[in-house]
Amino acid sequence: MRKLLLLLLLFPFHSKAQDTLKAYQNYDFRAGDKIIYEDNFAADKVGEFPAHWDLMGGQGVVNMVGGIPCFLLIEGNYVKVKPYMKTDKYLTDSFSVEFDTYPTQNAYGIMIFMNGSNHTNMNVQLKPASIVWNYSNTKTLFGNFPAEILKTKYINSWHHIALAYIDDQLKIYVDQYRILTIPHCGLKPQNLEVAGIGSKQNPIIFKDFKIAGGAGMNMLDKLLTDGRFVTHGIRFDVNSARIKPESMGVINDIVTYLQAHPDLKVEIDGHTDSDGSDESNLILSQQRADAVKAVMINGGINALRLTTKGFGESKPINDNKTPEGKANNRRVELVKT
């Protein structure tokens, strides 16, 4: 009963939020541990091309979809855009890519091109019922959506897309489902592009685009060796302590690790970027730490092993001048006590 009351306090829309988190209980995607690139388009003017992207062909524009700033690819066959980076070789040996997309009935499926050396590339395309992976037009693999997200549920709704590249293997996820695994890609990507057939009537829509290095690196042993574990894989809604469901992969790892080390006690620390006031950030960081604790208790960890503390923006690990710096400062840390 105590667990239930705590969850009700942390998640006002208890039933829907908890059902969503529960659906991600078996989610095995792991985001990278350091943010390479992030853009949520909040700083861009509606009707303009986003400042942190470059245009390779066609046309794109920032617009509001359901009150949320998004990037719309509106013209071109293919329209191609890419993150605006200082170097063309920014993808690490292991990396993750995440974004949300809103497919409409007649829109072309969003494509992610991952480019290697010597003009080689592989691309991933989302279709209404499947994912298609192609390597330099010489090899193609397909993965079908499960019944739960077939066309009637996939179209006209938001979906979280995640890609994890580790040691030449690529895993591709839609929401909580792993749709396709390519065991040997045969390509070491250096950079990426977002593409498709743009249309003003049926644009390609995406938001909250993130690239992180070190995908799948299990750093939890740092709790024992260094006494501290830092993760950017636990994420929250903007200005909220509501945990995003894709965070469950990391939280499940932490719960399993603590179960394997029953004498280990930890403090869960919340950290924010510098947006907002010092006071509001301090409160928010405490609420987020408490939310993580609640989910871990619900996962079977004794509450007596867990304490929480919010630090707000007081302990940055990067500057707050860039989206990537802010993203790295927004984090959860576990500290051995």
Domains of the chain: 2-27+218-336 (3.30.1330.60), 34-213 (2.60.120.200)
H-only helix segments in 89-221: 151-154
Calpha distance 187→60 (Å, rounded): 28
Report in angstroms the alpha-carbon separations of 196 from 9, 110, 175, 199, 270. Answer: 43, 6, 21, 9, 38
Collapsed DSSP state (helix, strand, coil) of residue 167: coil
Q: Are 148 and 135 in contact (CB under 8 A)?
A: no
Tokens 């510098």, residue? Answer: 274
Q: Are 155 and 128 in contact (CB under 8 A)?
A: yes
H-only helix segments in 189-274: 222-225, 248-260
Q: What are phi and psi of 219, to 5 degrees?
A: -100, 10
For residue 21, the model assigns a pLDDT of 67
For 277, residues 6+ apart whose C-beta sits below 8 A from its C-beta are none
For residue 215, the model assigns a pLDDT of 58
Q: What are phi and psi of 325, to 5 degrees?
A: -60, -45
pTM assigned to the model: 0.86
Of 1, 30, 18, 8, nearest to 290 by C-alpha is 8
Calpha distance 294→306 (Å, rounded): 10
Q: Identify the DSSP state of 168.
A: T
Residue-level pLDDT, tens digit, the chain, 337 residues: 334 333 433 444 445 556 666 777 778 888 888 899 999 999 999 999 999 999 999 999 999 999 999 999 999 888 999 999 999 999 999 999 999 999 998 999 999 999 998 889 999 999 989 999 999 888 999 999 998 888 678 899 999 999 999 989 999 999 999 999 999 999 999 999 999 999 999 999 999 999 999 855 557 788 888 899 999 889 899 889 999 988 988 899 999 999 999 999 999 999 999 999 999 999 999 999 999 999 999 999 999 999 999 999 999 999 998 888 999 999 999 999 9
Tokens encoding 179: 């749709």
For residue 151, the model assigns a pLDDT of 66
Residues 64-91 as b or e (16 or more Cβ within 10 Å = b)? eeeebbbbbbbbbebbbbbbeeeeeebb
For residue 5, the model assigns a pLDDT of 35
What radius of gyration, in Å, describes the C-alpha atoms of the chain?
20
Calpha distance 265→304 (Å, rounded): 8
